[in-house]
Amino acid sequence: MFLSTFEKQLDGKRRLLIPQEFRTAENGAEHGVFCFPSIEADCLEAGGDRLFAEYRGVIESLPFGDPYRSALEAAIYGEQKALAYDSGGRITLPESLCAEAELSEAVILYGVGDRFQIWSRDKWEAHRAEQRRAARAGLAQFGEMRRQAIKPGGTG
């Protein structure tokens, strides 16, 4: 799994050091990563072979010609870049991906389980604050649902 958050520097050649913890055989990213503009947020999505297989499974579960399948094919297959590591564990992000996510020098690599995201620092800070608010609200709602489910006398 891709876990934790790292702040890294994108150099003038758009090279980005991928943390050793992200370059593992277990997540399929030991030789490189697939990277594409995120569908859900203003960042880049990245991951290894396991992530690609997950997206491929979702796409192939939809019938050929389905508009959702076509949209996912365009967003995942059409926008994806396969990026190999150099000898120092860096990838070189294409200029088009950097422009899409508005990446400059300081970037955040944010592990989210089966994938990681690459954010501009400013956008990540806003996203992180929103995610924390949503997590608090969700946890409070979950707690309320649990309390409602408990019957008098402490049994559930």
The per-residue pLDDT for 150 is 87
SS3 percent helix, strand, coil of the chain, rounded to 5, is: 40, 25, 35
Share of the chain above pLDDT 90, in %: 89
Residue ranges of domains in the chain: 5-120
Q: What is the pLDDT, as a whole number, of residue 156?
A: 54
- Considering only the top CATH level, what class is 5-120? alpha beta
Q: Please say whether the dihedral angle defined by the alpha carbons of residues 125, 49, 58 and 76, taken in this order, is positive or negative.
A: positive
pLDDT tens, residue by residue, 18-70: 999 999 999 999 999 999 999 999 999 999 999 999 999 999 999 999 999 99
* Residue that has been written with the tokens 């309390």 in this structure: 147
User: Exposure of 69 by Cβ count < 10 A (0-12 exposed, 13-18 middle, 19+ buried)?
Assistant: middle
CA-CA distance, 131 to 151, in Å (whole number)?
A: 32
* pTM given for the model: 0.87
